[in-house]
Structure 1
Amino acid sequence: MRVTTVMMIGAGALALMACRDDGGVSAGTPVARGARAVAALHSASGADVGRATATEVAGGLRVTVDAKALPPGTHGAHIHTTGRCDPPGFETAGGHWNPLMKKHGSMNPQGPHEGDMPNLVIDSGGRGTVAAVIPGATMAGLLDTDGAALVIHANPDDLATDPSGNSGARIACGVFQPS
């Protein structure tokens, strides 16, 4: 009975794939020869605290943050609108990347910003990773005339409060560069 059920579910999934008009490529699938940008992340003191990578994928951009040497706990992580990271507060990175003029947060019915990402959880050893696919985002939009930065905040993002999710001070920043 279980084998029959599994076979029927598999056949149904294949039938649905055949109905798609995107050639069977799902959102988030890597794009052959897709563009890539990398941001070296630094603390206010200039210490290396990891990197963020943006990669073109089907239907948008995949952004991955690999952090190290950060305080343990949960931290907001966002793409900010300007490619500048002047310490100590990194205010030069501007606000969240928001070309569609939405409200902040995945839990906000009028959101999210393109730059909103899930929270970054840093373990007791100071390391953490988070990734997200940003639907509809493009490398050209990310690397526009004033660029973009990835910012890590001191506190968790509540995923709802506009404009920044109450995520606190900016503790790390990196400017995206084509790679």
Structure 2
Amino acid sequence: MRLTQTLLCAATVLALAACSKPEPAAAPEAVTPEASAPAATPAPEAGGMSMAKVTLKPTEGNKVAGELSFMSMEGGVHVTGSLTGLSPGEHGLHIHEKGDCSAPDGASAGGHFNPDGVEHGQITAEVHHAGDSNNITADADGNATVNQMLSSNVDIGKGDKYDIVGKGVIVHAKADDYKTQPTGDAGGRLACGVIEAAPAM
């Protein structure tokens, strides 16, 4: 009797074991490679250059020379510097369209820098060339100190059509009358130089 019960019990356990489906093993978690940290984004480069300079050398038969520095500031570009070898009195000072002083008379610098194709005039006038500026004044010894704002629509190093880097600078024999087209009747070209970018301070 006891043997029969034992056999029945064993048979029941085996039957149950055969009927029950083993639970599927849990699928191993997919190993996701750790996303690599994004590369550090370099700081954006500084905006356009804020300073430039020009060394002016005399054209053939003249002795005018000097250096000017240009700096971007609120309201436009400020120019400072000094010139020597001028006749006493007022002289036109303009930015010209080409940075080329190869011609003996400076003619290779082309006309006034005028990206908008407008008429010449004083920089306080509503219409004027981007390259127009106020006259400079030489003392009795022929020296002139330059300290003034340029046309409000020029900039330094932005690469747009108003950028003065790479343009020419001309010092003229006479004063600009601010009205005669297209040059202000400023006379011959006494000195020429090419504007170059300079490191910001």
What TM-score, normalized to structure 1?
0.72
Cα distance change, pair 124–103 in 1 and its aligned pair in 2 (3 A): same
1:142 to 158, 164, 169: 164
The correspondence of residues 35-54 of structure 1 with structure 2, limited to 5 A, is: 35-45=50-60, 49-54=65-70
What secondary structure does 1:125 align onto?
A: coil
Higher mean C-alpha deviation, range 108-117 or range 34-43:
108-117
| Larger strand proportion of the pair | 1
Aligned-residue offset at 1:85: 1.0
Cα distance change, pair 83–114 in 1 and its aligned pair in 2 (3 A): same
Q: Is the 8 A contact 1:80 1:96 kept in 2?
A: yes
1:77 to 90, 93, 96: 93
Structure exhibiting the larger radius of gyration computed from Cα positions: 2
Aligned residue number for residue 183 of structure 2: 164
Cα distance in structure 1, aligned partners of 2:174 and 2:153: 28
Unaligned runs of 5+ in 1: 1-32
Cα distance in structure 2, aligned partners of 1:158 and 1:47: 23
Tell me the number of residue pairs that the alignment of Structure 1 and Structure 2 aligns. Answer: 145
2:134 to 114, 118, 122: 118
Aligned-residue offset at 1:70: 1.8
The answer to whether the aligner puts 1:104 opposite 2:120 as a matched pair is: yes
Cα distance change, pair 162–40 in 1 and its aligned pair in 2 (3 A): same
Higher mean C-alpha deviation, range 87-96 or range 45-54:
45-54
Cα distance in structure 1, aligned partners of 2:123 and 2:132: 11
Runs of 4+ off more than 2 Å: 45-48, 107-111
The answer to whether the aligner puts 1:61 opposite 2:77 as a matched pair is: yes
Cα distance in structure 1, aligned partners of 2:124 and 2:64: 33
Cα distance in structure 2, aligned partners of 1:60 and 1:44: 29
The correspondence of residues 11-26 of structure 1 with structure 2, limited to 5 A, is: none
What secondary structure does 2:194 align onto?
A: strand
What secondary structure does 1:135 align onto?
A: coil
Cα distance in structure 1, aligned partners of 2:134 and 2:81: 10
What TM-score, normalized to structure 2?
0.65
Unaligned runs of 5+ in 2: 1-47
Aligned-residue offset at 1:152: 0.5
